[in-house]
Copies of this chain bind each other. A is one copy, B any other.
Amino acid sequence: MPTDKEIATRSRLRCEIDVTPAFYDIDVMEIVYHGNYVKYLELARSALLAKFDYDYPRMRESGYGWPVVDMRLKYVRPATFGQRLKVEASITEWENRLRIDYVMRDAQSGQKINTAYTIQVAVDMRTREMCFVCPPVLWERLGVEP
C-alpha cells in the first residue's frame, strides 16, 4: 500500500491539458488518425515537464537528451473533428527511466478515448551514451527521491 507521502508525490507529478482534434488530424473514416494521438501525448508530456522546468530546452541545457524508447497506445473509442478532449499525463517512474502514463478522455462525458505510456531514457549528450540510472537533475526538478 502506498504511503501518504507516495500518494502526495503521485498526485503532484501530473498535469492535464485540453486538446481539440483539427481538420488535418482526421482521416477518411472521419476519426482522428491513430498516429496523430502521438502528438497529443507530446503536448501533454511537454506541459507536464514544463511544470517542473524540465521541458525540451531545459533538458538540453542540463546536458541530457531523453529519447522515447518505448511507446504504447491502446485505443478505446474514436475521437473526431472538434471534439473537446482532456489528456492527463502522470510521471510514474523516474529511477532508471522516465515513464509517463496518459489517459485521454472526452471532456464532456469523461468517456475514455485511449490510454498510453511512453518511456524515455537519459542520454549523456557529450558521450552519446545511454544512462542506466536517471541523472540527479531529473530528481531535483521533480522533487523526488530515487
- Give A residues with C-beta under 8 Å from B: 22-24, 26-31, 33-35, 38-39, 42-43, 46, 50, 55-57, 65, 67-75, 78, 81-82
Contact = CB atoms under 8 A, between A and B. Distances in A.
Contact of A27 (B26, B31, B74): B26
Given A73-B71, A74-B70, A65 B23 contact: no
A26 B39 CA distance: 13
What is the count of identical protomers in the complex?
4
Main secondary structure of the interface of A (DSSP, over half): mixed
A29 B81 contact: no
A92 B9 CA distance: 41
A78 B120 CA distance: 13
A26 B29 contact: no
